[in-house]
Structures are given as structure tokens and as C-alpha cells.
């Protein structure tokens, strides 16, 4: 009698565990990890203290230069307001390079070189170029220093942070005393900043191929709105008929008489809504930087608020305030609509059924990448 044949025992096959987190191409941020190697600004609090002290002194000089005092005249005669503008732009460029994982010392040297060239030569085109660069850098830094806002209070805090950086940038841009056409200067700075911000978002959010359908629609809509605003402003200044320009001027004058100032459309309808919605979105979903970058339409535009010498500080504050309040209200409306539309996705996220999880972001004083 032959022995029974033993059947081979099949080992259970383990199914791969599906993670609810989205895999991105950027390096994972480890909370509490060491600062990047070679970063001069990350070694202890002393460099940050020096940076803040220099910024406070330069900002104080710029504020004094705007006040109707005898000291203000002396500052202007000795070009100390321009020197303070150069310092602020250089400090902002250094912080922006550090935040985006670039080379802070190279940015510092380049900004100082361009600022000194503008001050020493006194050529209008050089001064205008450096002032535009200062507006772009200030607007980008105002966006880059924000962190995600999970609660309405946190979103309000980040909006205030971006506004403060933009206002300091506005003082610096005005300190250069550039002779420019204000509307063209503003829209040119916004366009340049948006291109740089989109490139940075591609690095932070691992490219366009990770965007969802809703994210692609939001990105396309934001680009169209900014392009239309810039193109319309340029076309109106170049080829607008006299009757059309006069009617728009009369409408702005009527608003100014009743409200004291006119809101800025690109801030009201694009910049502040995108920044408000984007800050909320960054705390909940991945790839939200593609929405948040359109906040430069508000921050850069604010940095250009005082470039027109005929605009008083009170009128600039009123116009910016109207734009801020209305834009934040529109952003809050976008949040409400998003929560209503994405409620089922939020349930899947809570249940761990393939919902998306926003990756953690570094602290405000650490590099984003």
C-alpha cells in the first residue's frame, strides 16, 4: 500500500494595505526634524533676531519718511528713505530664498547690488525696475510665510501676517521714488509674481499631474481671471476710447466721493478670495498651493499701493480695506460652497476609505522644501 500524497500547503497571500495619504514627489517633511544642511539662517535664533532688528530699523525710517515732519525732509535729502528701501528689499529677498529652499546669501548680495545700482545711478528705468522687483519679492514673501489655517481664527491670523508683510513692502516700494505709470506698474508686478508663484507651486505640490479635476478647474479659472484683468487694464490704457476712459474716471470719482476710496478689482475678486480659500484648503487637502498662489494678486497689489505719489495714505488704506473685507467675504463663501460640495469626500476621509490627507507643512520660520 503506497503512502498518501501530501498536498502542498498554500501560504496566505497578504494584500497590500492601501494608504489614504497622497504620495507626492517632493521630499517628506518630518515635524521637528533638523534644519537643512548648509542653511546659514537656520543655525540658532541669532540670525533671525538680526534680521528682525534690521527690518524694524529700516521700516521705522520709511514710516518717518512718510510723516509730515522736518526729519522726513532731512531723510529724503540724504536719500535715507531709498537706503531703507534697499535694506527691506534685500531682507525680504533673503527670507524668500530661505523659505523656498534657495540660496539666501546669493539673494541678499544680488538684491543689495541692484538696490545700490538704482540709488547710485539715479536712472529712472533702473529705479523703476528695482522697485518692481521689490514689489514682487514682498508679495511672494507675504504668501510664502503663511501656514495652513484650520480654523477661522487661524485663517484670519495668516491673512493679517500676509497683509503686514505687504504693507512693509509698500513702504519700501514707495521709498524708491520711482516715476512710473501706477496701473501698468501694478499689473506688471502681479503678472511676474504669478509666474514665479506658479513655478514655486509646481515644486511644492509635485507638478500639475497630481491635480484633481476640481483643482484643475480652479487653477484654469484663476489664470483666466488674472490674464483678463491684466490684459483689460493694459488695453484700456493703450487703446481705450476717450469716452470710455472718461466714463470710468467719473465712476471712480463718484465712488471716491461716497466711499473715500475705490476697491481694487484684482484684490477684491481674485487675490483675497484665493488666499482665504487657499489657506483653509491647505489644512485639509493636498496640492492646495495651486489655489493659494493666486493670493499674490492681493499681496503684490498691496505692495504697489503707494507707488502713485498722488495717492494719500488714508485713501490707500481705505481702498485696501474695502478690497480686503470684500475679498475675504468671497473667500468665506468659497469655503462654504466647497464644504457643501465636498461633504461626501470629507466622510470618506474620516472613515479612511481613500480620502485625501493634506501633508504637514513646516513652521513659519523653516524652509518649505
CA dist., res. 143 & res. 91, Å (int): 16
Q: What is the DSSP string of 275-336?
A: HHHHHHHHTTSTTTHHHHGGGHHHHHHHHTTT-STTS-HHHHHHHHHHHHHHHHHHHHHHHH
pLDDT value at position 71? 76
Q: What is the mean pLDDT of each run of 10 residues along the chain (369 residues)?
A: 53 47 44 46 73 96 86 80 95 95 93 92 91 96 94 96 97 93 90 92 67 63 70 57 62 70 86 93 84 93 92 89 94 89 56 54 88
pLDDT value at position 320? 92
| DSSP 8-state assignment for residue 360 | P
pLDDT value at position 18? 43
The answer to whether residues 225 and 269 touch, using CB atoms and an 8 Å cutoff, is yes
Kindly report, residue by residue over 251-288, the tens digit of the pLDDT: 667 767 677 777 888 898 899 999 999 999 898 877 78
133 Cα distance to chain centroid: 14
pLDDT value at position 233? 59
pLDDT value at position 2? 54
The answer to whether residues 331 and 272 touch, using CB atoms and an 8 Å cutoff, is yes
CA dist., res. 248 & res. 35, Å (int): 52
pLDDT value at position 218? 66
CA dist., res. 369 & res. 227, Å (int): 29
Nine-digit cell string for 23: 504620495
Kindly report, residue by residue over 20-45, the tens digit of the pLDDT: 444 444 444 444 444 544 444 445 67
Candidates 253, 107, 127, 121; CA nearest to 179 is 127
Amino acid at each position: 500500500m503506497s503512502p498518501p500524497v501530501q498536498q502542498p500547503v498554500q501560504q496566505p497571500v497578504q494584500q497590500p494595505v492601501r494608504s489614504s495619504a497622497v504620495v507626492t514627489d517632493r521630499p517628506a517633511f518630518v515635524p521637528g526634524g533638523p534644519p537643512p544642511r548648509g542653511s546659514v539662517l537656520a543655525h540658532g535664533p541669532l540670525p533671525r533676531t538680526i534680521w528682525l532688528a534690521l527690518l524694524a530699523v529700516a521700516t521705522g525710517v520709511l514710516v518717518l519718511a512718510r510723516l509730515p515732519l522736518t526729519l522726513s525732509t532731512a531723510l529724503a535729502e540724504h536719500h535715507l528713505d531709498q537706503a531703507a528701501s534697499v535694506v527691506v528689499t534685500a531682507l525680504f529677498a533673503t527670507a524668500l530664498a530661505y523659505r523656498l529652499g534657495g540660496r539666501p546669501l546669493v539673494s541678499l548680495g544680488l538684491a543689495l547690488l541692484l538696490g545700490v545700482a538704482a540709488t547710485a545711478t539715479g536712472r529712472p528705468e533702473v529705479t523703476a525696475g528695482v522697485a518692481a522687483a521689490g514689489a514682487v519679492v514682498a508679495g511672494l514673501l507675504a504668501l510664502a510665510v503663511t501656514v495652513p489655517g484650520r480654523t477661522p481664527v487661524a485663517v484670519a491670523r495668516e491673512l493679517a501676517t500676509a497683509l503686514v508683510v505687504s504693507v512693509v513692502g509698500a513702504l519700501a516700494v514707495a521709498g524708491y521714488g520711482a516715476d512710473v505709470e501706477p496701473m501698468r506698474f501694478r499689473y506688471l508686478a502681479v503678472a511676474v509674481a504669478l509666474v514665479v508663484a506658479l513655478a514655486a507651486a509646481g515644486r511644492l505640490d509635485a507638478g500639475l499631474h497630481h491635480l484633481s479635476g476640481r483643482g484643475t478647474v480652479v487653477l484654469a479659472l484663476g489664470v483666466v481671471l488674472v490674464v483678463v484683468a491684466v490684459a483689460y487694464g493694459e488695453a484700456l490704457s493703450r487703446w481705450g476710447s476717450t469716452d470710455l476712459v472718461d466714463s470710468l474716471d467719473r465712476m471712480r470719482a463718484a465712488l471716491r466721493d461716497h466711499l473715500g476710496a475705490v476697491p481694487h478689482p484684482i484684490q477684491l475678486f481674485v487675490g483675497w478670495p484665493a488666499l482665504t480659500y487657499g489657506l483653509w484648503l491647505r489644512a485639509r487637502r493636498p496640492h492646495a498651493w495651486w489655489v493659494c498662489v493666486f493670493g499674490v494678486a492681493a499681496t503684490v497689489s498691496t505692495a504697489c499701493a503707494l507707488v502713485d505719489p498722488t495717492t494719500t495714505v488714508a485713501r490707500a488704506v481705505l481702498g485696501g480695506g474695502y478690497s480686503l473685507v470684500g475679498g475675504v467675504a468671497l473667500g468665506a463663501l468659497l469655503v462654504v460652497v466647497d464644504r457643501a460640495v465636498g461633504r461626501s469626500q470629507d466622510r470618506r476621509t474620516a472613515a479612511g476609505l481613500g480620502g485625501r490627507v493634506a501633508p504637514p507643512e513646516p513652521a513659519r520660520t523653516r524652509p518649505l522644501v
